[in-house]
Amino acid sequence: MVEFILNNQTIQTDLPAGTTVLDFVRYDENLKGTKIGCREGDCGACTVLVGELNEDSVKYRSMTSCLMPIANAHCKHIVTVEGINKPNNELTEVQQAIVDAGGTQCGFCTVGFVMSLTGFCIDETEKSGEMAISSIDGNICRCTGYKSIERAAELVSSQLSVVSSQNNSLEIAVEKGIVPEYFSGIKNRLAELSQKNPKSKIQNPKFVVGGGTDLYVQRHDEMVYAPAENLFDNSDLRGIEENGEFIEIGASATVTDLLVSPVMQSIFPNLYKHLKLVSSTPIRNMATLAGNFVNASPIGDMTVWFLALDATIVFNNEREIHLSELYLGYKTLAKTDDEFIKTIRFRKKVQHFNFEKVSKRTCLDISSVNSAISLKTENNKILEVHAAAGGVAPIPLYLKKTSAFLRGKEISDSTILQANEILQTEISPISDVRGSAEYKRLLLRQLFTAHFVELFGFSTER
């Protein structure tokens, strides 16, 4: 039995836990405001808001309901456009801003934009024009043109610029009529729901689901009835903490959890710049680290990131291996069916780190080639280095030979040139829709050089 608050109504359902929230709201609840576009997380037409009790507040995030199993809605607040609409056909501030800026034509995408922008108004992000525009990076419009929609986003953020503390955005949004009054009572209602539905322990799953952003794209129909255990909300698999010389991250932490984590922000000064290259806001809100690792895509951004941190993964049976040891061949993993990832661990002393990605579009696109590097240096000498690359081999690749070559070397033009030659000997890209093998070799050469340009200010003339 899954129980949650849908808009202002508490709902219980016995439907298969793998049913998507999109199908549930449209076909069981007849809430047709939420649209179906791609069913692959790409268009944002199905965007809903998901509120989760977080200590003493409700944390709202936008998510694509086409990829979200109702199991992941348990004890949460799911908000569709019907849940923010005002009575008497009045428009909310966000809807009015879209009208005022001329940001809608056929209207098919508009509900998705309204939900993403409303999410921006009530989430913890800084209320700036840049962040408002960033909140709609997962929404596609095929007829209006983005400039007018961006103007609407800026209008919304300027109306919120009085928000001094990001912690009171929900209060202010209620005051300004951006969301209805009943949102103020959701915290207590979610607390009651959680008390009534104590979290169960993880059994011995043969098949697990995180955020569903890979599984529901690849195996949508099968997932509805799959005997899966949902790990997304398991509190033992969440959290990002310092533990001695290590940082330990719960396997179900999402990309957004990393983005907003003070621990991660203190270690990675370019965290926002790098992570905003990964998918889109609603997908980052759902995509877990373990899902990225186990999906084993050769271009998994978070996988390449954590390979370059020389991270280890800890399974439920406490077996710990280096992330690089997980990949035996294309989508072949060094793990049994009974094993799921519990924790990701890396050394917190990260002196220099850089991530680079090239994709056909800036937002909402997977990499053609990506690369990450972490280095420890002293007096221009490389003491420790781990480099990784994606899109250049059947697996996300830890660059073993290149990293070994760099250890102990001076950082110089000649070192980078030689490292780039070694790099070319350990990759084996193939030609596909994302580019020819030659192009990917060239891209990686450029990205590898870009690490040193970014970190040490080298010129790009090589």
What DSSP designation does 138 have? T
Q: How many CA atoms lie within 13 A of 185 on its CB side?
A: 9
The CA-based angle 176-180-186, given to 5 degrees, is: 120
What DSSP designation does 277 have? T
Q: Does 45 bind ligand FES (CB under 6 A)?
A: yes
Beta carbon of residue 290, minimum distance to ligand FES (angstroms, whole number): 22
Residue 144's binding partner out of ligand FES, ligand FAD, none, with CB under 5 to 8 Å set by partner kind: ligand FES
Q: Does 112 bind ligand FAD (CB under 6 A)?
A: no
Q: Does 39 bind ligand FES (CB under 6 A)?
A: yes
Q: What is the spatial distance between Cα 207 and Cα 432, in angstroms, rounded to a whole number? A: 30
Interacting span for ligand FAD (CB under 6 A) from 146-154, 167-175, 300-308, 324-332 = 300-308
- Those residues with Cβ within 8 angstroms of residue 305's Cβ, 6 or more apart along the chain or in another chain: 274, 355, 372, 388
Q: Does 301 bind ligand FAD (CB under 6 A)?
A: yes
Structure tokens at 366: 């997977």
Interacting span for ligand FAD (CB under 6 A) from 279-287, 347-355, 431-439, 449-457 = 279-287
Q: Does 144 bind ligand FES (CB under 6 A)?
A: yes
Q: Please provide the distance, in angstroms rounded to a whole number, between the alpha carbons at the two ends of the chain.
A: 61
Which residue of 37, 51, 298, 300 would you call a contact of ligand FES, by CB under 6 A?
A: 37
Which residue of 71, 294, 358, 423 would you call a contact of ligand FAD, by CB under 6 A?
A: 294
The contacts found for 259-263 with CB under 8 angstroms, 24 or more apart, are 259/284, 260/124
Interacting span for ligand FAD (CB under 6 A) from 122-130, 285-293, 377-385, 427-435 = 285-293
Which residue of 153, 156, 251, 395 would you call a contact of ligand FAD, by CB under 6 A?
A: 251
**Are the C-beta atoms of 125 and 165 separated by less than 8 Å?**
no
Residue 43's binding partner out of ligand FES, ligand FAD, none, with CB under 5 to 8 Å set by partner kind: ligand FES
> What is the DSSP annotation of 170-226?
HHHHHHTTSS-GGGGGHHHHHHHHHHHSPPPPP---SSEESS-TTHHHHSHHHHHH-
Beta carbon of residue 407, minimum distance to ligand FAD (angstroms, whole number): 28
Q: What is the spatial distance between Cα 141 and Cα 156, in angstroms, rounded to a whole number? A: 18
- Provide the binding-site residues for ligand FAD, judged by CB under 6 A: 40-42, 208-215, 217, 231, 251, 278-279, 283, 286-288, 290-292, 294-295, 300-302, 340-341, 364, 366
Residues in contact with ligand FES by CB under 6 A are 36-39, 41-46, 64, 66, 104-110, 141-144
